[in-house]
Structure 1
Amino acid sequence: MNQLLKGRKVLVTGAARGLGLVFAEQLARAGARVALADILEEQVKASAATLRDQGLDATGLALDVRDPQSVAMAVSQAVEALGGLDGVVNNAAITNSGGKTTEELAIDTWDRVMEVNVRGSWLVTNACLPALRMSGRGAIVNLASDTAIWGAPQLLAYTASKGAIMAMTRSLATELGDDNITVNAIAPGLVAVEATAYVPQGRKDLYRQQRPLKRTQLPEDVCGAVIFALSDMARFITGQTLPVNGGFVMP
């Protein structure tokens, strides 16, 4: 793979499995030194070890994005292990609200989704800022979702949280521009990972039928956009949300 990220030091949250793990692997293959962080401590450390067995530079760290102390410790450990920090991928998120109408949605579910998806991304970003400023070429990539663009029904908490991520991306981009830190969001479609296994097959078929690229979307399909957003090729792009969904939405 083209070494677009050679020498870069990147933290990926929610990286024990699924999209986050694939991101970490592909970033490492693009030349980055990667810290994988996740609340699933044993699994994330095992995933990092698997990447190291493949000759990739990877470190596994425990991280609960809901806990400011856990966030501070994980970011400190990442900076120490990597020798600095040039980029962060705010990938950690939960769905939890799938299949529920707005009237069926429990308040506790709403609060938990917002706590992990929005507050967690904010806490991780803040903890990373000192190291990103020292980098001189910091890049933040937030994982949004195309559900927030087209308005997915019966997925209100998740959709609202990803809409907040898109808005937060724009605000942070404006605030951090003077620090030479770019902030962009990637908005995947329905990707075939563990987190979407609950989605009914009929809905998955509908996604495929209604987009120009009709095959199943794989985690690898999203990696190019993330690598690009972290690379010097995107140094003059900030505050943007890029849908990566086979054309299901075309904003």
Structure 2
Amino acid sequence: MTTLLQGKNVVITGAARGLGYDFACAALKAGASILMVDILADLLQEKAEKLQGEGFPVTYITADLSTQTSIDNVTTWVSLNWQKVDGLINCAALATGVGGVDMMDYDPELWDRVMTVNVKGTWLMTQAMVPFLKKSGYGKVVNIASDTALWGAPKLMAYVASKGAILSMTRSMARELGEFNISVNSLSPGLTLVEATEYVPKERHNLYITGRAIQREQLPDDVSGTALYLLSDLASFVTGQNIPVNGGFVFN
């Protein structure tokens, strides 16, 4: 337990499982109040109620970030309950089931779905939260990218392209929002042991382990500390940057 985010209001998308849930747990332990957002309604409720039962200040909203209606629902809740937002982690992304396909065989409809959720959803959620980030006078946005966009992972074209877009969009957002004291950075995890990567072949996991400077599997807790840093006062003059967190598989 720390006080790194004491008194801060933080919105986290994709928070029902994987890295998003780990980010929520870490931020709560650092003193923040959390709004968990995810499309997985039952799992989201289960995880949020578990944290509530442990005494943490957390609530939740089910949302499909590809729809404006869902974005509006999140905006309405924030307006009625918080009025200001200090931090936003855009972690929601379509990953499971999008890999293992050669670029020549990729389904255009799946491509569009990945781009809508991963890229458009990140933009729309950030756009919706900007007025509340401005009110805080503090705003921190952390966009979750991926080191696949840094080394060009094969047979994962739509996902890699979407995460490359996150990297570029982060820089543009940082330029536009800096005048409001809102910082925008991206975090690029390597292959992490979470539910969304259970489908990844063992060979790809081994490729990561042997290719890392620190040769072991990557766990969610390996990533959450960097997210907390980017949300905190410690990173008050850091913006437009991408931080790979992958044990040295890719150097920035």
Structure-2-length-normalised TM-score: 0.97
Secondary structure in 1 matching 2:128: helix
Identity in percent: 48
1:93-151 per-residue CA deviation (whole Å, 9 max, x = no partner) reads 01232000110101001000000000000010010011001110001000000000011
Matched residue, 1:38: 38
Structure 1 residue 79, shift from structure 2 partner: 4.4
Matched residue, 2:118: 117
Structure 2: how far apart are the matches of 1:205 and 1:55?
39
Structure 2: how far apart are the matches of 1:190 and 1:80?
38
1:209-233 per-residue CA deviation (whole Å, 9 max, x = no partner) reads 1111111101111100100000011
- The runs of 4+ residues in structure 1 deviating greater than 2 Å are 78-84
The one-letter code sitting in structure 2 at the alignment partner of 1:74 is V
The one-letter code sitting in structure 1 at the alignment partner of 2:73 is M
The answer to whether the 8 A contact 2:18-2:194 is kept is: yes
Unaligned runs of 5+ in 2: none
Secondary structure in 2 matching 1:10: strand
1:50 aligns with 2:50: yes
The answer to whether the 8 A contact 2:83-2:132 is kept is: no
Query: RMSD value over aligned CA atoms?
Result: 1.0
The one-letter code sitting in structure 2 at the alignment partner of 1:23 is F
Structure-1-length-normalised TM-score: 0.98
Structure 1: how far apart are the matches of 2:144 and 2:237?
19
Structure 1: how far apart are the matches of 2:75 and 2:31?
20
Structure 2: how far apart are the matches of 1:168 and 1:225?
20
Structure 1: how far apart are the matches of 2:201 and 2:98?
14
Structure 1: how far apart are the matches of 2:211 and 2:130?
40
Structure 2: how far apart are the matches of 1:195 and 1:79?
32
Alignment coverage as a number of residue pairs:
251
Structure 2: how far apart are the matches of 1:43 and 1:37?
11
The answer to whether the 8 A contact 1:33-1:82 is kept is: no
Structure 2: how far apart are the matches of 1:194 and 1:79?
32
Unaligned runs of 5+ in 1: none
Structure 1: how far apart are the matches of 2:60 and 2:167?
28
Structure 2: how far apart are the matches of 1:26 and 1:7?
14
Q: CA 1:220–1:82 in structure 2 vs 1: closer, same or farther (change >3 Å)?
A: farther
